[in-house]
Amino acid sequence: MTPKEVIKLAEKNNAVMFDVKFLDLPGIWQHCSFPVSELSEDIFQDGLGFDGSSIRGWKAINNSDMLIIPDPTTAIMDPFTKYPTLSLVANIADPITMEKYSRDPRNVAMKAEAYLKSTGIADTCYFGPEAEFFVFDDIRYQSDESGAFYQVDSVEAQWNTGREEDPNLGYKPRYKEGYFPVPPTDTLMDIRSEMAMVMQESGIDVEAHHHEVATAGQGEIDMRFSPLLKMADNLMLFKYIIRNVAKKHNKTATFMPKPVWNDNGSGMHVHQSLWKAGKPLFAGDKYGGLSEMGLHYIGGILKHARALAALVAPTTNSYKRLVPGFEAPVNLAYSSRNRSAAIRIPMYSTSPKAKRIELRFPDPSCNPYLAFAAMMMAGLDGVQNKIDPGQPLDKDIYGLTPEELSEIPALPGSLDESLDALEADQDFLLKGDVFTQDVIDVWLSYKRENEVAELRLRPHPYEFTMYYDI
């Protein structure tokens, strides 16, 4: 869509406002709205001024003037506003030099796509994330000097089988048995259908939706694969739609990886493949129907997996999900069909176009622009250096002996460890100036100071159970 076509879209839908969205460094959409009278072709080149000092991970207050430059190809009508509002995703630029801002996550994704083409290896990297989420009926939490607690609740939660509900109708998914039940056990079918329909109306291709494994409202909606930047845009819109449809029904949605103890967490398995001139490059006659390039791509991801974790599983809560012996794969191996491996080669279809790899340890708390770019850069490093992924693991990892398991490398056990791994292994991200040293350094310092250190300072409620009488 061109700027002229964007203006026509606004006119056709009687828009009275236009809204511009962009990302902070951790990965949450920010926005600013303007009267539609301010919408002109010029803003798509000259941008709109704003203060970048209040955005997490961005400019200092003495160097804060920045520009929002809307991308006309992202234009849609916002499906939730009371007054007709045109929505645009934007890039961020310096007002003096007009150069794209290095800490803008969308800029990192754009540079990643440009770098891929410059290598001559491929011209497109397709991504297909499967972002899981919970829809709760109530969430309360507090943390201050007097104490801390959280409380989640859902009408379909197994812990509510004995609650007075005037009447309690049962049909609550048992722990770890929430995968694919029909209504009335699946209470959220219509809400997920509404989410999927709004997504389709907003330009996202939806393939399926279903209840997920956990009790208490876990779900999944699958999007059709798209190129890196487009899919990162789609994932942000996907989260926006899920949260707002849930709110419309007086419910609340979260993409937190582990909001419920002792049941499955929310992961984001990420399917990915390289293509060139419209042809898939991962199909071949090697293991799992992969090409040599596909295996080398796996080799790159496995080599850099511990560093990747800091970007694709980037919260302290991520490591409540990534625990040995539970559902999330922490052991760094690959396999066809075996879902206990960190990388799976899906075998649903024999079509070369369907040949891809599936990385299983990311989660939806990530910033998708940074996460997708980092995964591709790791895979490309494997292709460029012909990194051998080693032998596949077709056994059930959870059934291995301790001796066998000790030979398989594992993911970090905490965000702190993954940040240390990223600090030690980052050269693959710096190729082509995709990630700058500044972006990596700011990411490390932000996560350490604002998340790792803050959590470390606070007593945990369960510590009172363990230690109060010590």
Packing angle of the helix pair 292-312, 415-424 (nearest 10 deg):
120
Give pLDDT, residue 54.
85
pLDDT above 60: residue 62: no
- Summarize pLDDT for 249-288 with one digit per residue, the tens: 999 999 999 999 999 999 999 999 999 999 999 999 999 9
Give pLDDT, residue 402.
81
Q: What is the CA radius of gyration of the chain?
A: 23
- Summarize pLDDT for 122-171 with one digit per residue, the tens: 999 999 999 999 999 999 999 999 999 999 999 999 999 999 999 999 99
217: left (phi over 0), alpha (psi -120 to 50) or beta: left
Could you list the beta-strand ranges (E) of 181-288: 206-211, 218-223, 226-227, 252-254, 268-276, 279-280
Query: Which amino acid is present at 462?
Result: Y
Query: Which amino acid is present at 197?
Result: M
For residues 396 and 394, give the distance between their C-alpha atoms in angstroms, rounded to a whole number.
7
Question: Cα dihedral angle (277, 279, 285, 288), rounded to 10 degrees?
Answer: 120
Tokens describing residue 386? 């012909």
pLDDT above 50: residue 61: no
pLDDT above 70: residue 390: yes
Q: Which residues are catalytic?
A: 51, 130, 132, 212, 220, 269, 339, 358, 360
Taking the alpha carbons of 183, 185, 190, 193 in that order, is the dihedral positive or negative? negative
Task: Report CA-CA distances (Å) from 151 to 130, 162, 245.
Answer: 26, 17, 22
For residues 332 and 214, give the distance between their C-alpha atoms in angstroms, rounded to a whole number.
24
> Which pTM does this prediction carry?
0.96
- Summarize pLDDT for 8-28 with one digit per residue, the tens: 999 999 999 999 999 999 999
pLDDT above 70: residue 63: no
Judge residue 64's burial from the number of C-beta atoms within 10 Å of its C-beta, 0-12 exposed, 13-18 middle, 19 or more buried: middle
CB 324 within 8 A of CB 332: no
